[in-house]
Structure 1
Amino acid sequence: MHHRFFRRPDCTELREEIGQLCAELCEDNPYSFNEEQMVEKFQKNQKIITLRRENKKQER
């Protein structure tokens, strides 16, 4: 099964959507960072991301 690979230009979007950790992984090794890993990381970080977004909304 082929993965859709994330190339360097996608790292900024990853940083915004999924968080620092995933973006750093993407930047460290942009050609081996695949969608499956991204989804897994996202699921682990989703609660944290949601909380951060809520905090940002409250700060405004």
Structure 2
Amino acid sequence: MKFVVTLDRDEDGMWIIECPSIPGCVSQGKTREEALENIKEAIQLCLEVRAEHGLPLTVETKQVEVRV
């Protein structure tokens, strides 16, 4: 399965990564690469937990470009 993730840096330089289509699925890493590896594990675990609780595995998300 493919998922879109968002990747940002916090004020301490840590990479924060989130999978918007899976509510609450967030991870982090000291490097961009570490964060990307960590979110893969987080996605697997989140999907397992959601399945165990009978929740929808994902929610619909849409990316829209906005100019300011």
Is TM > 0.5 for Structure 1 vs Structure 2? no
Taking CA–CA contacts closer than 8 Å with sequence separation of 6 or more, which of the two structures ends up with the larger relative contact order?
1
Name the TM-score, length of structure 2 as normaliser: 0.36
> Which is richer in strand?
2
> Which is richer in helix?
1
Q: Radius of gyration: which is bigger?
A: 2
Name the TM-score, length of structure 1 as normaliser: 0.38
